Amino acid sequence: MQLNWLAYTIPLFLLLIGLEYWVSRAQGKSYFRFNESIANLNVGIAERLLDLFIAGATYVFYAWLHQRFALFEIRATIWSWVALLIVTDFVWYWYHRLGHEISLFWAAHVVHHQSEDFNYTVSARITVFQAIVRTGFWSVLPIIGFPAGMVVSILLVHGLYAFFLHTRTVGKLGWLEHILVTPSHHRVHHAVNSQYLDKNYGDVFIFWDKLFGTFAEEHEEPAYGLTKPLNSYSFLWQQFHFLLELLVAVRRTPGIRTKIRLLFGRPDGVDAGIRAELESRLLQQVPPALNRGKFRGYVVGQLVGVLVLLFAFLLLERYIPGWAQGLVAVFVLLTLINMGALLEQRRWVLHLELARLVLLWGLVYAVSGVQLLVVLAYIGGLSWWAYQASIRRHYFQYLYGRVQPVHS
């Protein structure tokens, strides 16, 4: 039986988050907030899910580039692995820096910086759009002559190292601070303090920042997030807000050349007032976070269910037919949107709950073929139609402690 052992990174990731939480509590500090952590993990789950559908294509693309355009024939030796690590980190520095300096790339990268917490859950804030942009930058590696297998392997190591940088439980690391990117360096990168903005783009080695003049040392306690806070836990809004702002700005800008300059100019060239316009049309004010045990338990239950499903999905991907993979992916994405709506206490979350139930029921029926499920679905549909007002009232009372949610 051929299993995808990378699936075990999920429980390992969660174990490390739990360990960091325990260490932070032992230090007498609190680095985790419920809503922020759930929103961070939601973004990471979506990236892991969608990466399943594009990871193979990335390898094939690198192999094709190597076969057709490789400038050198590089073989796997100790020195070639060292060289690949250094070159990869150099490319990463410029990918990362341009991700902050070019609006079109910032639209993909901004999601990673939205959280106002800074802990291991923040490392999960990577979108599939960001992965695609990175693939474009790293395409130079197989063209240089590094085989696709080496490139993909070094990128896995690179990504694993970056995970450990997202923590406030580790202080400065002595002489390592002069060579490697440390948690202290990366805290600076995520900070919105004026002296820390646009600093420390490196991922493994810090000397790129020192060489190109983008280094800053951590002195005062950083504040995290965006310079203009997002104030939303909506899964969709987090993914697309700056892209929408950019599209509106491009539409309002006359002239093709000016539009192109806006797309490839600095993000602060986009009119900041557009965000407020879009928020007034598409969002409502985020209500205070709920501390009710029932509410948190319900959200955590959905999160755990999705993580278990994602783990099984990744582990057994070779044995799941394409149609079932598609249904599972849609179910997971609906659940992520649903959790964001729950955190914002939206009324329409009940419609998503129903859609998730219908989809899950259909998936179970397709797999089992039990005819009784059709009858039960018919009875359930009639019951919903007859008692929807009562169901809605009890649902919101259970979750939010009130008959109606704060927002529609």
Is residue 407 classed as helix, strand or coil in its secondary structure? strand
pLDDT in tens, 73-84: 999 999 999 999
Is residue 376 classed as helix, strand or coil in its secondary structure? helix
pLDDT in tens, 335-356: 999 999 888 888 888 888 888 8
Residue that wins the pLDDT comparison between 361 and 137: 137
pLDDT in tens, 22-34: 999 988 888 999 9
From 147-161, 225-239, 296-310, 375-389, the region with the lowest mean pLDDT:
375-389
Residue among 299, 261, 275 at smallest CA distance from 103: 261
Mean of the per-residue pLDDT values of the chain: 88
264: DSSP letter: T
Is the CB of residue 202 less than 8 Å from the CB of residue 93?
yes
pLDDT in tens, 218-261: 999 999 999 888 888 989 999 999 999 999 999 998 989 999 99
**What is the value of pTM for the model shown?**
0.90
Is the CB of residue 195 less than 8 Å from the CB of residue 223?
no
Band (pLDDT 50/70/90 cuts) for residue 319 is confident
Give me the residues paired with residue 191 across strands: 224
Phi, psi of 224 (to 5 degrees): -115, 165
Say how far apart CA 109 and CA 267 lie, in whole Å: 11
From 195-199, 223-227, 376-380, 389-393, the region with the lowest mean pLDDT:
376-380
Is residue 158 classed as helix, strand or coil in its secondary structure? helix
Is the CB of residue 106 less than 8 Å from the CB of residue 115?
no
Say how far apart CA 13 and CA 21 lie, in whole Å: 12
- Whether 408 has a pLDDT exceeding 70, the answer reads no
Say how far apart CA 343 and CA 292 lie, in whole Å: 12
For residue 382, the model assigns a pLDDT of 64
Alpha helix ranges (H) inside 230-272: 235-252, 256-263
Give me the residues paired with residue 407 across strands: 346
First to last CA, the chain: 48
Angle, vertex CA 219, rays to CA 90 and CA 158, nearest 5: 25
pLDDT in tens, 145-177: 999 999 999 988 888 999 999 999 999 999 999
Distances (CA, A) of 210 to 164, 199, 205, 276: 21, 10, 10, 37
For residue 151, the model assigns a pLDDT of 94
The set of residues, in sequence order, having a beta carbon less than 8 Å from that of 200 and lying 6+ positions away, is: 181, 185, 186, 188, 189, 206, 209, 214, 215, 216
Say how far apart CA 137 and CA 95 lie, in whole Å: 6
